[in-house]
Amino acid sequence: MSAKLELSQIDSRLTGAERDYVQAFREMACCLGVTSAAELGEQLDYDSSWAWRMLRGRDNALPREEVMQDLRGRLAAPPYSESTIKDLAHKAFAARKERRIRERDEKKRASKPPALAGTSEGPAAGAEPSSNSSLPVPLSAGDRQRSGKTGVSPGPRAARPSAPEFVDRAAALRSSPSGLLSIVRIAAGELSAYEGALALHLLKEGRDDTVADSFLEIYAKGREYSDVMETAVVLLDEFHMSDVASTVLRAALKTHAGKN
């Protein structure tokens, strides 16, 4: 297998059937001669971020059977037969469905508060929800949290922001240091590992080193080490930014070493 594609492991949360399917996808991608998700995305007409997820089984992303068969058809000597791919796909998607149901049920049980003796499990009928909590404002809605004193319960949380959206907002806030710092902090806390790497790539590409350095420092120090590791892998794998990847890892190592 290509050294580049080996830089990141398949998501450890996947079941055996899912891992077998993703591994088959990776093997055929390597037989095609691609060395990165970006190249594979171009070959299959997929967004590079989605190709990256499929190569690792991240975020429940599994390639459809049609994609696998299309990839197989491009190979002179495919390592898997059509029937084998069909069988792998059937088992993988069935296993994914069962796993997601199991994870959803476990999450519900974990988030359910224990009932107090002599009380019902839920809030009393007619009770007003607490209005003291506030959620992070999405990148498209402003730089500060809104006060929860309006008496209106907050709506559903906005979708996770994207790297291009963050970079655009940062550019618009250059004349407002406090607003810029606020949006950098929000992005550092909410962007996915892949989007974090993409943000650094876009900022460096646009020669916005000041914002890039601030984002890198806050991201590396505030995120789980596994997230930072994944971001470093993407920086190496997709964007060939070895210096930035090393800086991210050094900052994270220094922070986590200080906590021990």
The per-residue pLDDT for range 94-137, each reduced to its tens digit, is 998 888 788 878 877 877 666 544 444 444 444 444 433 333 44
DSSP of 25-40, one letter per residue?
Answer: HHHHHHHHT--SHHHH
Mean pLDDT to the nearest integer, 225-233:
87
Span between the terminal Cα atoms of the chain, in Å: 37
Residue 194 pLDDT: 86
Rounded CA separation 104/192 (Å): 20
- Count of beta carbons in the 10 Å neighbourhood of residue 192: 20
- In sequence order, which residues have a C-beta less than 8 Å from that of residue 112 and are 6 or more positions away? 121
> Which segment, 114-123, 168-177, 237-246, is predicted with the most confidence on average?
168-177
- Count of residues making up the chain: 260
Mean pLDDT to the nearest integer, 181-210:
90
Mean pLDDT of the chain: 78
Query: Quick one: pLDDT band at residue 17, thresholds 50, 70, 90?
Result: very high
What is the DSSP code (8-state) at residue 124? P
- In sequence order, which residues have a C-beta less than 8 Å from that of residue 167 and are 6 or more positions away? 199, 202, 203, 206, 208
Residue 213: both structure tokens together:
């350095």
pLDDT higher than threshold 90 for residue 84: yes
The domain ranges of the chain are 5-105, 163-259
pLDDT higher than threshold 90 for residue 189: yes
Residue 24 pLDDT: 94
Residue 182 pLDDT: 93
Question: pTM (2 decimals)?
Answer: 0.48
- In sequence order, which residues have a C-beta less than 8 Å from that of residue 198 and are 6 or more positions away? 49, 163, 164, 234, 239
Rounded CA separation 60/120 (Å): 36
pLDDT higher than threshold 70 for residue 247: yes
What is the DSSP code (8-state) at residue 238? T
pLDDT higher than threshold 50 for residue 147: no
Residue 100 pLDDT: 79
Query: Quick one: pLDDT band at residue 71, thresholds 50, 70, 90?
Result: very high
pLDDT higher than threshold 50 for residue 146: no
Residue 73 pLDDT: 94
User: φ, ψ for residue 26 (rounded to 5)?
Assistant: -65, -40
